[in-house]
Amino acid sequence: MKTAEKLAAGWLLTLGFMFLTLSATATLEKFAARKIYIPVQDADTFTAPNATYEDDNSAVGGLIFGVPTLTLGTWLALGLYRQSRQDKKALNQQVSDRLRSIFYEMLQENQGRVTVLGFAMQSQLPPANARQYLDEKAKEFNANFKVNEEGAVSYHFDI
């Protein structure tokens, strides 16, 4: 459904822009024709046709079709953008909630001791992201760090 909405928004924006461009071009041609017009001395023998009639119709038609089409395309595109932002926000909230619950479960199971490897395995995060998350939580809860002989860091939270 989103693909159809994206295509519709794209086509409406394109058509609206084309109609407005047609309107602007017709208006510019109308003003250019006025500057070039040379009046005829003998008006009885020759009457000049209204050269700007077609340009007037093109300009008005372009506005009549262009403004609503462009407005509808913009409305659809903004709606899709807002929906995308809401979806991303909801997904990030779900991930955050899942990580928080895993973190608290590990704290309870291990009496406040968490390692980067253990958290990375439980949360299925890459080690760098797991370390970053644990560093943030350690700052937030004033945790202690312990480094063993192999250089592995374990975080100790007071429960």
Q: What tens digit of pLDDT does each residue of 83-109 get?
A: 999 999 999 999 999 999 999 999 899
138 pLDDT exceeds 80? yes
Residue 103 falls inside a structural domain: no
Q: What's the confidence (pLDDT) of residue 132? A: 92
Q: How many residues does the chain have?
A: 159
pTM assigned to the model: 0.61
Please count the structural domains in the chain. 2
Q: For residue 83, give both structure tokens.
A: 């929906």
91 and 17 together in one domain = yes
Helix (H) or strand (E) holding 95: helix 53-109
Domain of residue 151, residue span: 110-159
Residue 104 falls inside a structural domain: no
CB under 8 A, 24+ apart: contacts of 80-89: 80/2, 80/5, 80/6, 80/9
Residue 18 falls inside a structural domain: yes
DSSP state of 147: E
Strand intervals (E) in 67-152: 113-115, 144-147
Lookup result for tokens 């928080």: 100
76 and 4 together in one domain = yes
13 and 61 together in one domain = yes
pLDDT tens track for 29-55: 877 766 655 555 555 555 555 555 666
Lookup result for tokens 């009046």: 39
88 and 119 together in one domain = no
Sign, Cα dihedral of 97, 98, 102, 103: negative
Residue 16 falls inside a structural domain: yes
